[in-house]
Amino acid sequence: MTDPADLRPVTAEEWPAFSRAMLEVFGDDPIGDFTERVPPTAELDRSLSLWAGDGRVAATGGIYSRQVTVPGAVVPCAGVTWVTVSPTHRRRGVLTAMMRRQLTELHEQQGEPLAALWASEGSIYGRFGYAPATQRGNLRGSTRDMAFRPGVDLGTGTVAPADPEAWRAGAARVHEALRRWVPGTFERDGRWWERALRDPAERRGGAGARRYVLHTEADGEVTGFAAFRVRTRWTDDGLADGTVLVEDVRARSTPGYAALWRYLLDLDLVRTVEAGYAPADDPLRHLLADPRALQARPLDGLWLRLVDVGRALAARRYPAPIDMVLEVRDRFCPWNDGRWWLRGHPAGAFCAPTDGDPDLVVDVEALAAAYLGGVSLGTLQAAGRVTEVSPGAVTQAATAFSWPVSPFCPDQF
């Protein structure tokens, strides 16, 4: 079995070999100069690599230092990324060693209380305490059927195309205004906006280049933005049958949001809309005269891990008061395994170890799923992931862990 001590950070000189090995496992070709120079977002001191005896890179991993919104607060979060293991080193405990090394170092160094990742396969990360905490809606509909309800207010602002730099400036202001209210949303500094605007032709999947639009009020203030691309198609009869692939739509007002969507749904030569990463309960459905015109096939989005249960539970806010003892089962991180006294309310929270009798028993994956408010503890109880000890504890805890805004993560990493 692999010893976590066998893993080490990669150097800048080793980046080409490291990145090529990573892309090979993912089945991707090199894109641009990604394999030739270290990307601005990379933090090599937080990377991990395993080298085979012949000098090949057998495993890769890394962490981005991020800030994520949780209910009522913004919390440091370790964005786990680049995780691969070569087929030559499978079933040797390499991935387990990597996960253990990352989580142990975060705990011992009092680093981020949360870790998050995007899972390439749904069966991998649960055994390390991660759980899906947001959903992507995988929305689809026929634009012909997506008329708005009578009386939908489109406001007095305008929606117009923008060049990438103008779009970035306006979108950054809107994102910053909105991100603190939506759990699961990450901050974006200049490096992450630069990454968000990258649009290599190899990654377009047969669609056109990304297009950008801004919603602007009469006074010139940008209050919304959208990014999309169009996949052009013609039927054998010569009829337009294109698809608009919506990547992001956000606005600071309901009229602005409605106006952006009306623009996207009214594009010429388009018959279908797809929004793979929109929230599963996107407000768009409630703008439509026929709610059935929009179909959703929800998929998991961001996966979350409570690195330190006490610090994580104390960091978020609770819309309803909670005062109870949680017995947390955590096989992978023994420092979390035990009983925790949680007191929380809308203004703050306290959480510390205790020897008191538990009100609830919950595994750490279920706690991670419920942490952002997107999964009810009542649902998890029905699945056998939560055990109620004190009568009514599930109802109280499910109410306290809820949040009026569904969690959403538009940033893959």
The response to whether 92 counts as a known ligand-binding position is yes
Cross-strand partners of 132: 303
If you average pLDDT over every residue of the chain, what do you get?
Answer: 96
Phi-psi region of 206 (alpha: psi -120 to 50; beta: other; left: phi over 0): left
Confidence (pLDDT) at 30: 80
Q: Are 340 and 352 in contact (CB under 8 A)?
A: yes
| 3-state SS assignment for residue 260 | helix
Total-model pTM = 0.95
Q: How far apart are CA 198 and CA 193, in angstroms?
A: 9
| pLDDT classification of 182: cutoffs 50, 70, 90 | very high
| 3-state SS assignment for residue 293 | helix
Q: What CATH fold (topology level) applies to the domain 4-112? A: Aminopeptidase (3.40.630)
Closest CA to 333 of 303, 365, 357, 360: 365
Q: Are 84 and 17 in contact (CB under 8 A)?
A: no
The response to whether 121 counts as a known ligand-binding position is yes
- 139-298 has the same fold as 4-112: yes
The response to whether 84 counts as a known ligand-binding position is yes
Instruction: For residue range 62-91, list pLDDT tens digits in order.
Output: 999 999 999 999 999 999 999 999 999 999
Domain 308-401 has CATH 3.90.1580.10: no
The response to whether 83 counts as a known ligand-binding position is yes
Instruction: For residue range 10-46, list pLDDT tens digits in order.
Output: 999 999 999 999 999 999 888 778 899 999 999 999 9
The response to whether 316 counts as a known ligand-binding position is no
Mean pLDDT of 365-369: 98
Q: How far apart are CA 196 and CA 257, in angstroms?
A: 21
Whose tokens are 């919603």? That residue is 215
Q: Are 217 and 116 in contact (CB under 8 A)?
A: no
Instruction: For residue range 187-201, list pLDDT tens digits in order.
Output: 999 999 999 999 998
DSSP string, 71-124: TTEEEEEEEEEEEEE-GGGTTSSHHHHHHHHHHHHHHHTT--SEEEEE-SSTTT
| pLDDT classification of 315: cutoffs 50, 70, 90 | very high
Q: Which of 34, 64, 125, 130 is catalytic?
A: 125
Mean pLDDT of 253-282: 96
In the chain, what are the domain boundaries? 4-112, 139-298, 308-401
Q: How far apart are CA 51 and CA 59, in angstroms?
A: 7
Is residue 4 scored above 90 in pLDDT?
no
Confidence (pLDDT) at 286: 97
β pairing state of 48-51 and 57-70: antiparallel
Tell me, yes or no, if 125 is annotated catalytic: yes
Is residue 203 scored above 90 in pLDDT?
no
Confidence (pLDDT) at 2: 85
Q: Are 323 and 355 in contact (CB under 8 A)?
A: no
The response to whether 85 counts as a known ligand-binding position is yes
Confidence (pLDDT) at 139: 97
Confidence (pLDDT) at 326: 98
Cross-strand partners of 211: 228
The response to whether 362 counts as a known ligand-binding position is no
Confidence (pLDDT) at 18: 97
Give CATH for domain 139-298: 3.40.630.30
Percent of the chain predicted with pLDDT > 90: 92
Mean pLDDT of 384-404: 98
Tell me, yes or no, if 212 is annotated catalytic: no
Instruction: For residue range 117-157, list pLDDT tens digits in order.
Output: 999 999 999 999 999 999 999 999 999 999 999 999 999 99
Percent of the chain predicted with pLDDT > 70: 100
